[in-house]
Structure 1
C-alpha cells in the first residue's frame, strides 16, 4: 500500500482539468469583494468550499454545472484571470503534477468587456507566472491551455480559430463542454472540420451523462483525438449475455478474458483513443456509483488507454493525489498502475512528440523508479 506522501510525490500528468472549477475559495472571496460581486453563498473560505462540494454532490450534471456561476463571476477581468491561472499552476505543481492541460471557455469571460483575445492572453500570462513560481519553489511543471466551446452556444468555429491563432503561444488544443443531452457534438462539425484542416488537436466531452451515441458521434463524425470522460464506453461491454449496466460490481471483479467488447469499444481500444477519466466527478454526476466499482479499473485491466484526471478540483474537493489515493485505497491500484496511467496521459498529450518523450524519460520514469525502489525496500 502506497502512503499518502508517496502518492503526492509521484509524478502526475493531467489532461482534464477546468480552470473555472479549480479556484481557491479564499481567492473567490477576495476577487468578489474587489469586483463588487455579492452573490456568493458564503464569505468564509471553509464554508464556501464546503458549499461548492455539497452543491456539486447532487447526482445531476446540470446541477453540477450551476456551481460555476460563482467562479465565472470572479473571472471577468485581466487581473482575476491571471491570478486564477497562476494559482492553478502553483497548486498543481505542489501536488506533484509535472504536465497539465487546463481547459476553459473564453466566451464565458466577456461580461466585463474583455475580448476573446484578452481572455486567452491573460490566462496564458497567468500560466507562465505560475510556472515560474513553481520552478522557483522546486516543483517544475509544464502547463498548456485547451480552449473550450460551449455545446449550447454558437461560437465553436470562432474558438477553434483562436486555438490555431495561439497554438504557438501556449494553447495546445480545443474542447467542447456543457450538458450532453440535446446538444450532440455534430452541431459543431464546422469547427472540427476546420481544426482537422489546420492539423490542430481536439478532445470532446462525450460519454459522461450521455451514452454510446455521444461517444460514436465524437469519434466517427467529429474525429476526436481524445474523449473527455468516456466512462459510458462500458455500456458496450458484456460478460456472456449480461451487459455491464446490469451488474457493475460483478464486472469489476470479472476476468478480462471473459469480457466481450462491442464494435465501438473494440474500435476505441484498438485505435488507442485516450479516455480522460475523472473518478470523483463521475460519482457526483452519477456516471459511476463508487470508486471501487468505477469503470476505470476494469478498463485499465482491459488495456484501454485510460488516464486519471480531476475535472473540477473545487467542486469535487479533490486533487490528482486524492484521485490516485482513492484508486489505491478502494480499487487496489499499485504504483505500477499509477505509472502506467501517467505514461498513458503523456503519450496522449497535445504537445509535440519529442516534448512528450522528454517528460516521460526525464521526469515520469525516474520518479516512479524511485517510488518502486522504496516499495521494494519497505519492511513487510
Structure 2
C-alpha cells in the first residue's frame, strides 16, 4: 500500500514487532506438549508425534466456531499443571517470540486453569514469571533482546474474575502488566465481571477485554461503556458499525466513531478470526478497512499453536492479501507499542530506539 520494498520472509522476520494479544497456553511447541504429557502421565492427546500433533491442533481449531476452537486448550492446559511445566512453557515462548523478531510482548493466560494438581494461584504466577525471566536471559545470552510482560485472565464463564484481578494487582510490580477476561463471549457479557473492573480502576490497574469476536457490537459497547476497557481483545466486529453508501462514502456509527476518536486499540488476530468464524476469509477481513480509516489497529497472533502462525506469517499473509508494506507494518507496530501496558517513558524508548531504527534499517 505505502511502499514497494519486496517483503521477503527474512525481511519480515527481522522487522521489530510488538505483540499484545497472545495466549501462553495457545503457543506451546508441539514437541513440548508431547514431552510434558509423557512426564505428567497425561493420556488424552490424539497423538504423541510432534509433527502430527501440530497438524492436529491446527485442524481441530479450524472449525469456524469459537467454542470448538477453545476445546483444543484442554490438551495444552492439561500438560501445564506443575511449576516445572509452567517454567518450561513460559521460557520457550519467550525464545520463540524473540526468534520471530518480537521485541515487546504481553503474554496472557488464566491462572485458574493450572491448579488441577494443587498449585495455588500465586504459585502459578510465580512459575510463569520465572519462566519469562529465564527465557529473557537465554535470548540475551544469544545476543537478542525482548521485553515480556504478563496479562492475567479471568474466565468469563466462571466466577473468579475479582480474585484474578486482585492477583494481577498483587503482582504488578513483578511483571504483571494487567488483566483480561477470556473464554466464550456469547452469553457471558463483560458486565458479569463489573466488580473486577471496578476494583481495577480503583487501583489504577490496566485491563483489556475480549470483545467483538464471537459477539458483536453490544459486547464492544459493554466493554467500553460499562467496564471501561482500555483496549479491545479482537474488537474486529466494530466494522459492523461502519457502512458505505452507493457512492462508496464510508459512514461510522456512534460506537465506531467513539472507538476511533478515543484511539481505543484493537488487538486484531487475523488468522484466528478466520478459524473461529469471526470473518469468512482473510480477504474479507475488515483489517484493511479499519487501517484505512486509521483506527488504532494492532496485529497479533492469538494462539500460535492452534493457528500455526507467527507474527512474521501474519505480516506475510496481510502483505499478500491487502498489499501492506513496511510502512504499514511499522505503523501497526508503533500503534501496539503506544498501546502497551507499560510506563510511558519505556514505551517511548522502545519506539525511538528499537522500533523506528529497526524499520529504518530494513527500508
Question: TM-score, normalised to structure 2's length?
Answer: 0.98
- The number of residues matched between the two structures is 358
C-alpha distance after superposition, 1:15-52 (max 9, x if no partner): 00000000000001111111100100001000000000
C-alpha distance after superposition, 1:336-364 (max 9, x if no partner): 00000000000000010001011001100
C-alpha distance after superposition, 1:290-340 (max 9, x if no partner): 222211111000000000000000000000000001001111001000000
Gaps of 5+ in 1: 242-253, 373-380
Match of 1:227 in 2: 232
Note if contact 1:274-1:305 (Cα within 8 Å) is conserved in structure 2: yes
Alignment of 1:270-285 (within 5 A): 270-285=261-276
Alignment of 1:300-315 (within 5 A): 300-315=291-306
Alignment of 1:194-233 (within 5 A): 194-233=199-238
1:202 counterpart SS class: strand
2:172 counterpart SS class: coil
Match of 2:28 in 1: 23
Distance in 2 (CA, whole Å) between partners of 1:261 and 1:346 is 26
Distance in 2 (CA, whole Å) between partners of 1:288 and 1:161 is 35
Note if contact 1:96-1:139 (Cα within 8 Å) is conserved in structure 2: no
2:337 aligned residue (322, 346, 349)? 346
Distance in 2 (CA, whole Å) between partners of 1:200 and 1:107 is 20
Distance in 2 (CA, whole Å) between partners of 1:303 and 1:288 is 20
Pairwise CA distance, 1:135: 1.2
Alignment of 1:146-161 (within 5 A): 146-161=151-166
Structure 1 stretches of 4+ with a deviation exceeding 4 A read none
Gaps of 5+ in 2: 1-5
Match of 1:102 in 2: 107
Pairwise CA distance, 1:150: 0.1
2:180 counterpart SS class: strand
1:168 counterpart SS class: helix
Match of 1:299 in 2: 290
Greater relative contact order (Cα < 8 A, sep 6+): 2
Match of 2:318 in 1: 327
Match of 2:346 in 1: 355
Distance in 2 (CA, whole Å) between partners of 1:150 and 1:293 is 30
2:78 aligned residue (56, 73, 76)? 73
Note if contact 1:299-1:306 (Cα within 8 Å) is conserved in structure 2: yes
Distance in 2 (CA, whole Å) between partners of 1:15 and 1:120 is 19
Alignment of 1:95-244 (within 5 A): 95-240=100-245
Distance in 2 (CA, whole Å) between partners of 1:292 and 1:141 is 32
Match of 1:60 in 2: 65
Note if contact 1:293-1:331 (Cα within 8 Å) is conserved in structure 2: no
Pairwise CA distance, 1:289: 2.0
